[in-house]
Chains A and B, each alone.
Chain A
Amino acid sequence: MSQTNYLVLKDINKSFSSNHVLKGVNFSARQGEIHGFIGGNGAGKSTLMNILGGIYEKDSGEIYIDNKPVFITKPIHSIQNGISFIHQELKLFSMQSVADNIFMSRLPTKGKGAFAIIDDAEKNRLTQKWLDMVGLKVSPNTIVNKLSIGEQQMVEIAKALSYESKIIIFDEPTSSLTSKEANILFDLIRKLKESGTCIIYISHKFEEIFELCDRVTVLRDGKEVGTVNVSETTTDELVSMVIGVRLEQYYPEIPELTTNEKFFEVKSLVNKKLRNVSFSVKKGEILGIFGLVGAGRSELARVIFGLDYLHSGEIYMNKNQKSIRSPKKAMSAGISFLTEDRRGEGLILNMSVCDNLNLPILNKLIKPITNWLNKSGMKKNTEVAIQQFHIKASNKDQHVKQLSGGNQQKVVLSKWFMTNSQLFILDEPTRGVDIKAKAEIYEAIVNITSSGSAVMIISSEALELLGVCHRILVMKDGLLVKELMRNEATEEKLLKYAMGDVS
């Protein structure tokens, strides 16, 4: 490893509308090193790397490669400067051949121009060379979607190598790989390092950082916390760097559970993302599900609500087995689900507060004989909800798209809370919501449990779960890896289990 910095990012700033994501980040990496890059959800890792990859344009700051300033505003600039970005969601032409994927932008031809005839023999020869380099044993003519995800990733790497990239960024490359495939990938990354490539490795998993990386940089709240040598650090140090010191938030009083009666239970849920998940919920309980992005938290909720395909497993409601194959069945079984995509799936933005609030219970608001909607009933419901949940709307007919994020979220919450379900699953209920609205949402959650309903909160904010939950389950790679009671859970413990360091 050379000791001089090859890639240097200086004082990078980036905002999305009012959201200041990167606040003057500095970052540097050397040739022949594997540089780990970690941080909590929303710390700005992906934003920074997307700036380097030319996907986003930075607001201010400088990028130097080999001491020369470079300007990257488009993906093509990034390629020209020897940077390759291997995205978590692969960017391949899935219906075209391996060779076409690698050489799409510079297909070898016998003449010049767009209408020159492609030299297929040359294309396949060049492709074979790079496939050999990454050790992928497939024909250059194979259609990409016939390959496994791991093999597709190898195609992306072969493409990166074919550009003779000096800097390769991996964004959570193992998230959809089997452990065998991951090992092949690690060997390849080490080989690249020996040949002098500068590798930036974004990951959520500490075990990978310790196995693979030379140095690691930690990012928190849009600012780098520091860079440490992996050989000189510990998991505990990294965890405390990722967490930092947080501001106190307001959490309501959590009432003690009055009953031990399990009313909802799932057994051995298995599907594309879940591997044998079993747990139960008690009446009046607030259960937290913690895990990093991609751990299978949302998939768990979606399966219970009948949105995703369930391969095998059993769901019991009040000791009766339920076959939940659609959201409609889930709702009639007494389950409500608040999606994490508030604007896309939770609300109809161009409809009024009143219309949105009454949507799930319209069938109960129909007048006899005429079948007309009971407008006064709707109005009454809305007034109750606005008062109870402190929704700040100018009147009940205001369009929800004009409300702030926090108030929109309160509309979604109260909409589901009016359905009298027994189990509410809330996916990231406070995402993008200010502190005051958060406190009000927590209060609403606690209030709804007083009637005996239970709430499952899925969140990547450990503090929030510690503040409102009776019990927290930690997920990792589609498995429940740990169950922590309210009194034994700490932020450090949650992160440690979620990132896979169980020592």
Chain B
Amino acid sequence: MYHERWRMKFKLSKSYVDYIKPSLLFVFIIIIMVRVPIFLKPSNIISVLAQGATIGIVSIGMTMVILSGEIDISVGAQLYCTGAIASEVFLATKSILITTLAAIVAGAIFGLLNGIGVAKLKIPSMITTLAVSNILTGLASLLIGSGSTLIAGDEYKVISQTKIFGILSSTWIFILLYVVFAIIICKTRFGRYVYAVGDNKDALRAAGINVDFIQIAIFVLTGMLCGVGGLVSTSRLGGSQINLSIGTEIYCIAAVVIGGVSMSGGVGNIFGVLVGIFMVAALDNLLRLISVSAYLYDLVWGIVIFVVVLIDVLKKKQQIKNQERKIPEL
């Protein structure tokens, strides 16, 4: 009996799971400092920020999607497709304004497709976005055609490669969008609804809120952010190529989950995600700096996601266990 009580006390005090993530971060930072001093050079930091811009922009949308208790695995394909569309439109019009609009509208339409599938047709978001992902990949590959590259010209690079105060415009676009969406998520009614959808859909419906509309809006906004992301990523290269950005969803999901957003929805904040985005961009950069074989990338990122989600799940399990084992005073 004494042993049992002691064990319970130990478990209830502070779960060991809480320490895993901070200690992993710590180890990561130590490795960087000791092994790869180039990493901390200002020029490299600027390049990390530029590379991270696309992932960052899309991660903002992914944050809302995951907060609402869903998932969007079509963001990579959305980037690919909106990027290809943007490149084509720029080639045809040479107008930055029309190109930007085209990319955002295309993204909104793709997001609408996801949103209707999830909210109205009640298809699980994993399946809806998987299907949309394949549709968009096919569509984009058709657009790019047999040449496997689509060159839009050097003028196109202006969108993301202009330096303002020593920082590339792609980074500025990310910062601007981050601030706007941070305000939306933290400070507006819509932001509260995003959390509430992920927390308890029935209760939100009972409060008289149009839950379907909120869910569709989340996917549409994510699509629009993908449109901007597609624009930025293709502009950096001056055009698109076959399978560009495919698989980006794994970086975005990693950024959001490392940032502390719970995969089951309703918990987390956009400030944590900023740290997550930086961590992902940094780890990506690091893998390049220490010239890890490209074949190992997928492996590394798969493990990262798995470990981070595992921590999340363990935490939840621990909570449920503690709750269940608590004897109510009577």
User: Is there a chain A Cβ closer than 8 Å to B166's Cβ?
Assistant: no
Beyond A114-B193, A117-B188, 6 additional contacts (C-beta under 8 Å) are: A104-B203, A104-B204, A107-B192, A178-B329, A178-B330, A179-B330
The answer, yes or no, to whether A362 is at the interface (CB within 8 Å) is no
Instruction: Give the dominant DSSP class at B's interface.
Output: helix
In the complex, whether A234 has a CB less than 8 A from a CB of chain B is no
> Which residues, 184 to 198 on B, are CB-close (under 8 Å) to A?
184, 187-190, 192-193, 195-196
**Which B residues are in CB contact (< 8 Å) with A275?**
330
Q: Interface residue count for A (Cβ, 8 Å)?
A: 33
Q: Mark A92-113, 1 if CB is under 8 A from B, else 0.
A: 1111100010001101010001
Which residues from B are CB-within-8-Å of A56?
Answer: none
Which B residues lie within 8 Å of A272 (CB)? Answer: 324-328
A94-B199, A311-B325 known; A115-B184 Cβ under 8 A:
yes
Closest chain A residue, CB of each to CB of B209 = A105
**B189→A107 contact, CB < 8 A:** yes
Which of B190, B192, B203, B324 lies in contact with A92, CB distance below 8 A? B203
Flag if B208 contacts A96 (CB, 8 Å).
Answer: no
A95 touches B324 (CB 8 A): no
Q: In this assembly, does B202 line the interface, its C-beta being within 8 Å of a C-beta of chain A?
A: yes
Report how far A388 CA is from B192 CA in the complex, Å. Answer: 60
Task: Using A114-B190, A115-B189, A118-B188 as known contacts, say yes or no to A96 and B196 having CB atoms under 8 A apart.
Answer: yes
B207/A104 in contact, CB under 8 A: yes
A79 contacts chain B at the CB level, 8 A cutoff: yes
B34 close to A (CB within 8 Å): no
- Asked if B266 and A96 make an inter-chain contact with CB atoms under 8 angstroms apart, the answer reads yes
Which chain B residue has the least Cβ–Cβ distance from A177?
B328
Contact of A309 among B206, B266, B325 (CB under 8 A): B325
A114 CA to B188 CA in the complex, in Å? 7
Contact of A94 among B200, B205, B326, B330 (CB under 8 A): B200
| Whole-angstrom CA separation of A270 from B1 in the bound complex | 13
- Out of B195, B200, B325, name the residue touching A91 (CB < 8 Å): B200
In the complex, which residues of chain A have a beta carbon less than 8 angstroms from the beta carbon of B267?
95
- Subset of 13 A-B contacts with CB under 8 Å: A76-B206, A91-B203, A92-B200, A93-B196, A95-B266, A95-B267, A96-B192, A104-B203, A104-B207, A109-B189, A114-B190, A275-B330, A311-B327
Interface residues of A in 175-232 (CB under 8 A from B): 176, 178-179
Complex Cα spacing A202 to B184, Å: 42
Nearest-Cβ distance from residue B232 to partner chain A, whole angstroms:
24
A153 to B206 Cα, complex, angstroms: 17
Within the complex, what minimum Cβ distance (angstroms) separates A77 from chain B? 9
Whole-angstrom distance between the Cβ of B295 and the nearest chain A Cβ? 40
Residue contact B327 to A117, C-beta cutoff 8 Å:
no
B contact residues around A477 at 8 Å (CB): 330
In whole Å, how far is B101's beta carbon from the nearest beta carbon of chain A?
A: 20
| B208–A75 CB distance below 8 A | yes
**How far is the CB of A149 from the nearest CB of chain B, in Å?**
8
* Assembly CA distance A95 to B265 (angstroms): 9
- Looking at the complex, which one of B187, B202, B209 makes contact with A117 (CB distance below 8 Å)? B187
Q: Is the CB of B208 within 8 A of A312?
A: no
Residues of A within 8 A of B329 (CB): 178
Q: Does B33 contact A (CB under 8 A)?
A: no
A79 touches B208 (CB 8 A): yes
Q: Are A100 and B326 in contact (CB under 8 A)?
A: no
Known contacts: A75-B205, A75-B206, A93-B200. The answer to whether A114 contacts B189 by CB under 8 A is yes
Contact A312 B1 (CB under 8 A): yes
Closest to B8 in A: A311
- Does B300 reach chain A (CB closer than 8 Å)? no
Instruction: Give the 6 A-B residue pairs with the shortest CB-CB distance, closest first.
Output: A76-B208, A105-B207, A75-B206, A93-B199, A95-B266, A114-B190
Tell me the complex Cα distance, A49–B232, Å.
56
Name the residue on A nearest B183 (C-beta).
A117
Q: Is A381 an interface residue (CB 8 A)?
A: no
Shortest Cβ distance from residue A225 to the other chain B in the assembled complex, whole angstroms: 31
B18 to A: closest C-beta gap in Å: 16
The CA of A79 and the CA of B209, in the complex, are separated in Å by: 12
Asked whether B189 lies within 8 Å of A116 as measured between CB atoms, the reply is yes
**Which residues of chain A have C-beta atoms less than 8 A from B190's C-beta?**
114-115
For chain B, residues 272 to 330, give those with C-beta under 8 angstroms from any C-beta of chain A. Answer: 324-330
- Most B CB atoms within 10 A — which of A79, A95, A116, A271? A95
Docked pose: A178 CA to B326 CA in angstroms:
14
**Interface 1/0s, chain B 191-227, versus A by CB < 8 A?**
0110110011011111111000000000000000000
Closest to A273 in B: B328
Closest B residue, CB atoms, query A75: B206
A371 to B267: give the CA distance in the assembly, Å: 49
Contact B324 A104 (CB under 8 A): no
B254 to chain A, nearest CB (A): 22
CB nearest to A100 among chain B residues: B192
Across the interface, which residues of A come within 8 angstroms of B184, CB to CB? 115
- Cβ of A74: which chain B residues have Cβ within 8 Å of it? 208
A-side contacts of B199, CB under 8 Å:
93-96
Contacts of B206 in A (CB 8 A): 75-76, 91
Closest to B205 in A: A75
User: For B200, what are the chain A residues with a Cβ–Cβ distance below 8 Å?
Assistant: 91-94
Smallest CB gap from A54: residue in B: B206
B-facing mask of A313-324, CB < 8 A → 1, else 0?
000000000000
Residues from chain B with a CB closer than 8 A to the CB of A79 are 207-208
Q: Are B195 and A96 in contact (CB under 8 A)?
A: yes
Determine the distance from Cα of A75 to Cα of B188 in the docked complex, in whole angstroms: 24
Q: Which residue of A lies closest to B214 (CB)?
A: A114
> B187 contacts which of A91, A114, A118, A271 (Cβ < 8 Å)?
A118
- Contacts A115-B184, A272-B324 hold; do A93 and B330 have CB atoms under 8 A apart? no
Q: Are A93 and B327 in contact (CB under 8 A)?
A: no
| A308 and chain B: residue at smallest CB distance | B324
Instruction: Tell me the nearest residue of chain A to B327, going by C-beta.
Output: A311
Interface centre among A92, A96, A114, A118 (most CB of B within 10 A): A114
What residues of chain B lie closer than 8 Å to A76, measured between beta carbons? 206-208
Contact call B327/A271, Cβ cutoff below 8 A:
yes
**Contact between A93 and B188, CB atoms less than 8 A apart:** no
Smallest beta-carbon distance A160→chain B, Å: 12
By a CB distance below 8 angstroms, the chain B residues around A109 are 188-189
Q: From B264, which residue of chain A is reached at the shortest CB distance?
A: A95
Report the Cα distance A104→B204, complex, angstroms.
8
Pick from A93, A116, A176, A179: contact of B195, CB below 8 A. Answer: A93
Contact among B1, B4, B266, B326 with A93 in the assembled complex (CB-CB below 8 Å): B266
**C-beta contact mask, A260-279 vs B, less than 8 Å → 1, else 0?**
00000000001110010000
CA distance A75 to B203 in the complex (A): 10
Contacts of B188 in A (CB 8 A): 109, 114-118
Interface centre among A104, A272, A309, A312, by most chain B C-beta atoms within 10 angstroms, is: A104
Distance, CA A179 to CA B330, complexed state (A):
7
Contact A178 B208 (CB under 8 A): no
In whole angstroms, what is the CA distance A311 to B202 when docked? 33
Nearest Cβ on chain B to A298's Cβ, whole angstroms: 15
